[in-house]
């Protein structure tokens, strides 16, 4: 039955569906036709995800059969999770409202259930529908005689009664009494869901639209209950199930058959697939998804051709790149393999500059141009993002005074607020980092490998900021701490059993992330935040896969984490955009990192000694690249002079 033929002509690029009463049968089963319909959507390039009043754990059993990779909305949007159940966002009910809400629901004769993200609470295991709900969401409730000790962190209150008019009356009463303070709607005739005011299916579809960059009118929605109408009203194509009430059906573009008559599959085949058109644009790519999840993507490359051809601008516009890093190896390759620098080298040579001076002129020219491209991002994010990085001479890795002097000089010469100076986190580099931060120079601390290296870099940063605070200076000097990942795996590839290959770098990074998250919540960090400081973000470096047998986006997918940076080579960036997806987020507790590291220790790998060895070897490799870079420039200078 077609209800709105005008809106029904809109192309559809994404599908958001309710679960109970819509996607699954009365017995909570995903039919073969429903699974086939979802596969057809995916084959056509249509984004598919789900929203439900269920808790996150109650949606877990749907992830694998549906092949879900997009964020899912539990508790009608009260909690947004990725398919691995990692929480992207949680919107709790205000603690002070809970007693009043519970009193009103009880006064209307409804039983009350309380839900947190991971647990739910009931007053009696024998209360109506408790057993059925436990079967649906596949975990039991916690039974409490009183809710007095759990009135915090509540994401959803459910009022339960088999008297449907009574539930409807309670819904109206809560809406009248609490207005915009909560969202109250029936998810089933016997359930009243009360959530945060910004936790409803209308908000869910708005957030999905922003996350994917897909206009609301190109999203199709399916549902069967009054709380689904909010997403119906905002979507380009809405489909009510045949088992929905007449009022719900009137709000939809189309009506399909009931959930007992393959209504979901019929709707996909009849109404959605004929209008299916894959979305395009940066937000749909995995690079855009990663950016939306809160991780910054920086490019680990710089060449003059990259700038002049418009490629870097395209990466910014199409691949969500928000920053850039460089190092001597990158510049050696760029200058050696391009004629783009020849004119500048010839002109600077005539002025009698040394090879090192000539290099920094070339590098500063490239990086200031890049900084200008990223400047709108820097301004828009208030200096959180939009950075480029220039390294001091690797010959200074063990020279504290020389490093500090070079850092100040290069930052001043560049004259761009969004340019960071890279200083290695060697024992000799740490005092220079502290002094540079104190002097107001933004620093990218490089060559960090372990948790202990990170702590040392963070301490240098903190001391620099605290000294600025003591002197009455602004505390908002930016810094990142660059942790190298793939070099761990290259170092042990021939020394460990096959099942441990390509696992050490990720485990060491996870342990470092755990330390980072712990430090962010410490009173010391909180104090400098209050003074206007910005956190020293963790940056994943060396994220190109070296093992030909491993995925080319292995490190990127494993280290997807909010409030971090991933700087990656062009090849990795393109691979992520072309065939990546981000189904998981790095856990704040480091996940299985300690278990994996223990297995490496059992295989004879001394993690602590290897970290220091890798840092020392990294400094040596940069010196080698630096010397090679100087040779390349000298050779070009000589050749151009002869010409």
Instruction: For 185-199, write each residue's pLDDT tens digit.
Output: 998 999 999 999 999
- pLDDT exceeds 60 at position 1: no
Confirm if 39 and 70 have CB atoms less than 8 A apart. Answer: no
Matching residue, tokens 């060697």: 426
Q: What is the pLDDT of residues 504-550, one digit of tens each?
A: 999 999 999 999 999 998 999 999 999 999 999 999 999 999 888 89
Confirm if 96 and 151 have CB atoms less than 8 A apart. Answer: no
Cα gap 285→303, rounded to integer Å: 25
Mean pLDDT of 308-328: 95
Q: What is the pLDDT of residues 138-156, one digit of tens each?
A: 899 999 999 999 999 999 9
Q: Which of 22-26, 161-165, 240-244, 292-296 has the lowest mean pLDDT?
A: 292-296
pLDDT of 581: 77
Q: Which of 216, 229, 219 is nearest to 76 (CA)?
A: 229
pLDDT of 5: 41
Residues, the chain, total? Answer: 643
Using alpha carbons only, what angle is made at residue 484 by residues 605 and 367, rounded to the nearest 5 degrees? 160
Q: Helix 355-380 and helix 311-319: axis angle, to 10°?
A: 30
pLDDT of 127: 93
Q: What is the pLDDT of residues 55-99, one digit of tens each?
A: 999 999 999 999 998 899 999 999 999 888 888 889 999 999 999
pLDDT of 9: 57
Mean pLDDT of 118-138: 93
Cα gap 443→423, rounded to integer Å: 7
- pLDDT exceeds 50 at position 7: no
Radius of gyration in angstroms for the set of CA atoms belonging to the chain, rounded to a whole number: 28
Confirm if 80 and 47 have CB atoms less than 8 A apart. Answer: no
| Greater model confidence, 179 or 482 | 482
Host H or E run for residue 114: strand 111-115
Burial of 295 by CB count in 10 Å (0-12 exposed, 13-18 middle, 19+ buried)? buried
- pLDDT exceeds 50 at position 3: no
pLDDT of 453: 97
Reported in sequence order, the residue ranges of 116-255 that DSSP labels E, i.e. its strands, are: 120-122, 142-143, 156-160, 183-188, 191-195, 219-223, 237-240, 254-255
Cα gap 510→108, rounded to integer Å: 50
pLDDT band at 391 (very low <50, low <70, confident <90, very high): very high
- Can you give the pTM of this predicted structure? 0.81
Residues above pLDDT 70, as percent of the chain: 98
Tokens of 66: 């549906």
pLDDT of 574: 94
- pLDDT exceeds 90 at position 220: yes
Give the distance, in angstroms, between the CA of residue 301 and the centroid of all CA atoms in the same chain: 22
Burial of 293 by CB count in 10 Å (0-12 exposed, 13-18 middle, 19+ buried)? middle
| Greater model confidence, 516 or 5 | 516
pLDDT of 4: 41
Respond yes or no: is residue 422 known to be catalytic. Answer: yes
pLDDT of 351: 67
pLDDT of 582: 78
Cα gap 209→171, rounded to integer Å: 28
Burial of 272 by CB count in 10 Å (0-12 exposed, 13-18 middle, 19+ buried)? buried
pLDDT of 580: 72
Catalytic residue among 422, 514, 557, 636: 422
pLDDT of 349: 59
- Complete DSSP assignment for 416-443: -TTEEEEEE-STTHHHHHHHHHHTT--E
């Amino acid at each position: 039955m077609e209800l709105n033929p005008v809106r029904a002509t809109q192309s559809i690029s994404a599908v958001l569906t309710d679960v109970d009463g819509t996607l699954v049968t009365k017995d909570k089963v995903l039919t073969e036709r429903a699974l086939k319909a979802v596969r057809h959507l995916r084959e056509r390039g249509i984004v598919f995800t789900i929203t439900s009043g269920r808790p996150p754990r109650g949606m877990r059993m749907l992830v694998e059969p549906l092949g879900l990779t997009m964020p899912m909305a539990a508790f009608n949007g009260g909690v947004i999770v990725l398919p691995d159940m990692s929480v992207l966002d949680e919107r709790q009910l205000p603690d002070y409202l809970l007693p009043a809400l519970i009193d009103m629901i009880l006064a209307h004769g409804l039983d009350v259930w309380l839900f947190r993200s991971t647990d739910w609470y009931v007053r009696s295991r024998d209360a109506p529908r408790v057993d059925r709900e436990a079967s649906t969401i596949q975990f039991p409730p916690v039974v409490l005689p009183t809710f007095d000790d759990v009135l915090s962190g509540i994401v959803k209150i459910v009022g339960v009664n088999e008297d449907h008019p009574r539930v409807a009356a309670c819904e109206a009463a809560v809406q009248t009494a609490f207005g915009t303070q909560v969202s109250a709607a029936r998810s089933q005739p016997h359930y009243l869901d009360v959530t945060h005011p910004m936790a409803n299916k209308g908000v869910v579809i708005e957030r999905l639209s922003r996350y994917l960059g897909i206009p609301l009118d190109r999203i199709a929605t399916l549902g069967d209950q009054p709380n689904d109408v909010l997403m119906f009203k905002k979507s380009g194509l809405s489909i009510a199930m045949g088992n929905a009430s007449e009022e719900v059906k009137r709000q939809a573009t189309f009506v399909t058959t009931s959930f007992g008559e393959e209504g979901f599959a019929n709707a996909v085949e009849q109404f959605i697939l004929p209008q299916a058109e894959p979305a395009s644009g940066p937000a749909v790519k995995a690079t855009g998804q990663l950016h939306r999840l809160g991780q910054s993507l920086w490019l680990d490359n710089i060449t003059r051709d990259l700038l002049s051809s418009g490629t870097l601008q395209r990466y910014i516009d199409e691949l969500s790149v928000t920053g850039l890093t460089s190092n001597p190896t990158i510049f050696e390759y760029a200058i050696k393999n391009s004629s783009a620098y020849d004119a500048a080298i010839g002109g600077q040579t005539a002025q009698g500059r040394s090879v090192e001076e000539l290099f920094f002129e070339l590098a500063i020219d490239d990086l200031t141009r890049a900084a200008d491209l990223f400047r709108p991002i820097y301004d828009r994010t208030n200096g959180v993002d939009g950075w480029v990085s220039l390294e001091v001479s690797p010959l200074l890795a063990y020279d504290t005074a020389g490093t500090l002097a070079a850092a100040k000089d290069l930052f001043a010469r560049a004259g761009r607020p969004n340019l960071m100076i890279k200083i290695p986190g060697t024992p000799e580099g740490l005092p220079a980092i502290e002094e540079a931060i104190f002097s107001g120079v933004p620093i990218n601390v490089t060559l960090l490998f372990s948790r202990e290296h990170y702590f040392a870099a963070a301490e240098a940063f903190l001391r620099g900021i605290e000294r600025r605070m003591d002197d009455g200076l602004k505390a908002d000097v930016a810094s990142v701490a660059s942790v190298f990942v793939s070099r761990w795996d290259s170092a042990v590839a021939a020394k460990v059993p096959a099942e441990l290959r390509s696992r050490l770098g990720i485990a060491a990074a996870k342990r470092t992330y755990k330390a980072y998250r712990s430090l962010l919540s410490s009173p010391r960090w909180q104090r400098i935040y209050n003074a206007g400081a910005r956190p020293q973000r963790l940056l994943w470096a060396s994220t190109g896969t070296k093992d030909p047998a491993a995925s080319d986006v292995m490190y990127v997918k494993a280290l997807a984490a909010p409030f971090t940076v991933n700087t990656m080579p062009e090849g990795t960036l393109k691979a992520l955009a072309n065939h990546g997806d981000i189904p998981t987020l790095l856990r704040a507790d480091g996940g299985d990192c300690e278990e994996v590291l223990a297995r490496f220790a059992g295989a004879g790998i001394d993690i602590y000694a290897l970290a220091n060895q890798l840092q020392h070897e990294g400094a040596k490799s940069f010196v080698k690249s630096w010397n090679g870079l100087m040779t390349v420039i000298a050779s070009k200078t000589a050749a151009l002079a002869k010409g």
